[in-house]
Amino acid sequence: MTAPKAPRNDVERRRYFRIEDKVVLSYKTLSEEEKQLQSRKLKSGEDLCPDLYHTFVMLESDIQDLIKKSKKENLLLSQAIELLNRKLNVIAKGPPNDRRKNSSIFNREPVTVSLSGCGISFMAPTPIEKGQTVQVEIILLPSRQYIVCLGEIVSSEKVALSENIGYSAENPFRIAVNFVEIRGEDSERLIQHVIKREVELLRSSKKHLRS
C-alpha cells in the first residue's frame, strides 16, 4: 500500500496502526453511478448494507458497542434505544435470518490481510485499476462485527511468493485500498480492533521469547 501522509496527532496516528490479521472479506467494484448513490447514502446517514440480514448484523454490532459504553455513561442509553428501534424496524420488514443464505460474505472463509483504520491490502485473482472505487465488506474476528465502506484502489500489482502476505497461485495480485467513506462508528471499531490485536500479538511474542 502506498505510504500515507504522516499523522499529525495521537488520535490520527491510531488510524495508521497496521497489523496482519485474518478477516472475512468481500469487495466489488462500483460504477460512477453506483459510487455516487452509495456516497449519498453514507452522507445522509443511511447504511450501505446490501440486504436486511447485513443491516441486522451491523446494527447488532452498534448496539453491543453502545451497551458496553452505557455501563459507564448512561447518556448513551438513549442512542442504544434508538438503535434497538431501528433494529426492530428491520425485523418488521422480514425475517433477517432468511436472508443469510443469500449473503455470500457470511459463508466465506477468513483470509489473511494487512489491516488498519484507514485501509486494507489483500491478495486477489485479478488486478483492479488504480483509482477505481470499491465497496468493501469486512467481518472482524472473533467478534464477528460487520463493517461496510467505500474505498479507492491505490495500488494493484502482481507480486512474488516471498513478497506478500497470503500469497497463492490463484491470488497473485496484491490489492491496496484506502477507505474513503466509512461510518464514524465503523472507523472507531476498526481502530480499536487493530490496537487490541496489536497488543495481543506483542504479548504472544513476549511469551514466545521467554519460553
Average pLDDT for residues 108-112, to the nearest whole number?
Answer: 93
CA separation for the pair 19, 5 (Å, rounded): 18
Tens-place pLDDT, residues 115-141: 999 999 999 999 999 999 999 999 999
Question: What pTM, to 2 d.p., does this model score?
Answer: 0.76
Quick one: pLDDT at residue 16?
A: 76
* pLDDT (tens digit per residue) in 178-193: 999 998 889 999 999 9
Long-range contacts, stretch 157-162, CB < 8 angstroms, 24+ apart: 157/127, 158/127
- Tell me the domains of the chain and their CATH numbers: 10-33+109-210 (2.40.10.220)
DSSP code for 156: E
Judge whether residue 94 has pLDDT over 70: no
Tell me, rounded to whole angstroms, the distance of Cα 176 from its chain centroid.
Answer: 14
Beta bridge partners of 156: 175
